[in-house]
Amino acid sequence: MSDPLQASPETGRAMLQEDGTQQLVITHEDLDRAEDRERVFAARGKRGLASRMRLLWLLIGPGILVMLGENDGPSMLSYAATGARFGIGFFIPFIILTFVMAVVVQEMTVRLGAATHRGHAELIFARFGPFWGWFSLIDLALGNFLTLITEFIAIRAGLGFFGVPPWAAVLSALALLSGALLTHRYWTWERITLAIAACNLIFVPVALLTHPQWKAVGHALVTWGPLLGGVNKGAVLILLSNIGATVTPWMLFFQQSATVDKGLTRSDVRFGRIDTVLGAALATIAAIATLLATAPLLNANISTEHFQAAEFAQALRPVIGRLGASLFAIGIVEAGIVACITISISSAYAFGEVAGKPHSLNLPMRQGKAFYTVLFLCAAVAAAIVLIPNLPLVYVVVMVNVIAVLAMPPALLFLYMLVNDRELMGDMVSPRWVNALATAVVILLTSAGVLFGISVVAPKVLVIFGGK
């Protein structure tokens, strides 16, 4: 009989014996995860504020990463384009609404991961069969790959402000991605990535340098002003781009798989919710700060069809100086790098779950060959595409967020059915009020998709909504 501690990635956790029975084995990732859980149990066994704060520190991570990871390069550029063209009146409360939607959706993935200890792709295959499993996986893979391309576009454009050649910008991003992963430890990777993700708040000092009109900000929050120029094709594109900057399919797969990889249990769900809300709050602050930073460009005639990080940084330079413009460009680069890390990992998680291969950031490279190969290959190919001469990079940036919105309703439908599956969830099945909120999110996203279709097929119909 084989030693269970010598389990290989090929054996998985259930090793078939000669007599036809299965033996539970302990893998490398199990040992690492058990070490993390031991610290959680030790903190949970103590009383006092310090112990509670330590417990929170040990359990947060996936929620903050998924929210700040979604504040990626294209998202921050979308917020920048929104401020430059539409100002703050309509979009400050609208951005807050989109992040509330994100919290509703992502809280369900926390419960699902903690209750089942299985990733999102794995559950879809198990509960709905191979057809829908492959449908969701292909949908995720395509969306993730297109998004990865836009992240490298953002990195290239942001570093271009400092005169860095495109090839050097792309290679630097790949090197940073590799460095974050070569720790072969989920906990270490998570802390490194959280430190990088915190730099998303660099847009706050950029916004402060523009001396925002706080009275106007307060008025926008209270009154929710009208959409400048009414509902037209350009406005619909920006609306969808802002929604796609907040709620996308990869977030479902990443946070649920990260929750499993981190080892969260049912008793940790409350902290998982805090983690998600905290991440959404930080991401909202960064998003609104970006909006405020570019609002002074409202009359600068920057086309939303031709926005890039370097262009915005250059346009802001007369307003906030070289330092402020440099911070803006650095923020775009940071947003792209964090998203490259989290999105490529979500693809690798999903592949491992479907292919039955080991899929954990606790795995050494030798034992997680398939997982790390998919991860690096997705990022490398996306980076190479960005270097193709004369590729319409800006058009890709604009459309990726729109595609994410159109792909979201089917993904949410699967999530809705899974969290309401009592056999899977037990007493953690979704309550009615959560189902009502989730239904509202699906209706809103579907309506946005229909509105986009109308704007493309019959733009004159938008005149009914006050468009021009």
- Which has the closest alpha carbon to 140: 364, 392, 393, 352? 352
pTM equals 0.85
- Which has the closest alpha carbon to 434: 107, 119, 96, 99? 107
What integer pLDDT is reported at residue 301 of this predicted model? Answer: 54
CB burial class (10 A; 0-12, 13-18, 19+) of residue 392? exposed
What integer pLDDT is reported at residue 394 of this predicted model? Answer: 57
What integer pLDDT is reported at residue 93 of this predicted model? Answer: 93
Q: How far apart (Å, rounded) are the C-alpha atoms in residues 108 and 317?
A: 42
Q: How far apart (Å, rounded) are the C-alpha atoms in residues 292 and 204?
A: 9
Helix (H), strand (E), coil (C) string for the chain: CCCHHHCCCCCCCEEECCCCCEEECCCHHHHHHHHHHHHHHHHHCCCCHHHHHHHHHHHCCHHHHHHHHHCCHHHHHHHHHHHHHHCCCCHHHHHHHHHHHHHHHHHHHHHHHHHHCCCHHHHHHHHHCHHHHHHHHHHHHHHHHHHHHHHHHHHHHHHHCCCCCHHHHHHHHHHHHHHHHCCCCHHHHHHHHHHHHHHHHHHHHHHHHCCCCHHHHHHHHHHCCCCCCCCCHHHHHHHHHHHHCCCCHHHHHHHHHHHHHHCCCHHHHHHHHHHHHHHHHHHHHHHHHHHHHHHHHCCCCCCCCCCCHHHHHHHHHHHHHHHHHHHHHHHHHHHHHHHHHHHHHHHHHHHHHHHCCCCCCCCCCCCCHHHHHHHHHHHHHHHHHHCCCCCCHHHHHHHHHHHHHHHHHHHHHHHHHHHCCHHHHHHHCCCHHHHHHHHHHHHHHHHHHHHHHHHHHCHHHHHHHCCC
What integer pLDDT is reported at residue 378 of this predicted model? Answer: 87
Q: What is the pLDDT along the chain (468 residues), one digit of tens a residue?
A: 333 333 333 334 554 455 555 556 666 667 777 777 788 888 777 878 888 888 888 888 999 999 998 888 888 888 888 888 888 888 999 999 999 999 999 999 999 999 998 888 889 988 888 888 888 888 888 888 888 888 888 888 888 888 889 889 989 888 888 877 777 778 888 888 898 899 999 999 999 998 888 888 898 888 887 777 777 777 777 888 788 778 888 899 999 999 998 888 898 999 999 999 999 999 999 999 999 998 888 765 555 444 455 577 888 888 888 898 899 999 989 998 988 888 888 888 888 888 888 888 888 878 888 888 888 888 888 888 888 776 665 556 656 767 777 777 888 889 999 999 999 898 899 889 888 988 888 888 877 777 766 665 555 555 454 555
What integer pLDDT is reported at residue 286 of this predicted model? Answer: 95
What integer pLDDT is reported at residue 5 of this predicted model? Answer: 32
Q: How far is CA 266 from the centre of its chain?
A: 23
Residue that has been written with the tokens 């190969």 in this structure: 373
For residues 216 and 23, the answer to whether their CB atoms sit within 8 Å is no
CA dihedral 191→195→200→201, nearest 10 degrees, is: 120
What integer pLDDT is reported at residue 63 of this predicted model? Answer: 93
For residues 254 and 339, the answer to whether their CB atoms sit within 8 Å is no
> What is the CATH architecture assignment of 64-465?
Up-down Bundle (1.20)
Provide the residue ranges of all domains of the chain, joining segments of one domain with +: 1-59, 64-465
